[in-house]
Amino acid sequence: MRAIIKAALKIDELAYDLESIASDDKKKIEDYTDSEILHEAKHVLGLFLDETNPHWNNEDLRGENGQEQQLWARGEVRKLNAFIKKYN
């Protein structure tokens, strides 16, 4: 398995997103290019950060769903930023 895929699957929301689109596309995650995986990572990060059209991930990040969810969301954002920096 490619390193980018191993790293992506260690990030909860990115792994969930990739598994969902792969299922919809009737593909394996391994079939996606590095560029496509990076694009999805940026999309998932945007779900956490976009306050103009809030997604539940943004609510988690702001602490609206409790401290435990906020800590999880902060960790996801940290991992996504590191992933994007590494593979961009």
What's the whole-model pTM score? 0.91
Return mean pLDDT, the chain. 94
What's the number of domains the chain is made of? 1
Cα angle 79-63-71, degrees, rounded to a multiple of 5: 35
- 30/46 Cα distance (integer angstroms): 23
Identify the pLDDT of residue 33. Answer: 97
Domain coverage including residue 36: 3-87
pLDDT(22) > 90: yes
Identify the pLDDT of residue 85. Answer: 98
**Mean of pLDDT values over 7-34:** 97
Q: What does the DSSP 8-state code read for residue 31? A: G
pLDDT(73) > 90: yes
- 66/47 Cα distance (integer angstroms): 18
Confidence grade of residue 53 (pLDDT, cut at 50, 70, 90): confident
